[in-house]
Amino acid sequence: MYERIVVGTDGSKTATRAVETAAEVARAWDARLCVTAAYVPKLTADQRSNRAETPENVRWRLSAGAIAEAVVQDAIRIARAVGGDNLQVDGRAEPGKPVDVILQVAGTIDAGMVIVGNKGMAGWGRLRGSVGHTLTRRATCDVLVVDTIGAMRV
């Protein structure tokens, strides 16, 4: 039923729960999983301060895009650990608002399902507020909103 699935993440504990669920769903459907993180191209004041204190030769790693890419790579490792060796998983870090990025990636890869958590998240993806609700109204594919709030209370 699902050949391709997109999961949104910002690297938070709750987003990690959504990634784990997405890996389980992808494994069950033998689907390809695309881990996606949205980011704002500009650094915050704290990030600029940290960047200024970083040695010049590694400073490029602290760009918004590089940090988001690191979040994606970490989520890919988590998805592979949950989904097993046969799980086909890749990732994308894209600039923009979370809903727009998730929908753009889903459209580009012709995803049959999008998966996100239900908790407001901080960080690069900034999957906040009503991302899940907005996705259910705008997506042209199925949307699974994972109960990441309840999962974190256990």
**pLDDT tens digits along 24-78:** 999 999 999 999 999 887 766 776 676 667 676 665 566 778 889 999 999 999 9
Domain count within the chain = 1
Beta strands per DSSP E along 9-126: 32-39, 88-95, 113-117
How many other C-beta atoms are found inside a 10 Å radius of the C-beta of residue 142?
14
User: Residue 105 belongs to a domain with what CATH number?
Assistant: 3.40.50.620
If phi > 0 it is left, if psi is from -120 to 50 it is alpha, else beta; for residue 125 that is: alpha
Token pair, residue 76, equals 């890919």
Residue span of the structural domain in which 31 resides: 4-153
> Residue 4: what residue type?
R
SS3 state at 2: coil
What are 43's two structure tokens?
Answer: 């650094």
More confident of the two residues 64 and 17: 17
pLDDT value at position 67? 84
| Tokens read off for 19 | 């990634």
- pLDDT tens readout for residues 68-109: 999 999 999 999 999 998 999 999 999 999 999 999 999 999
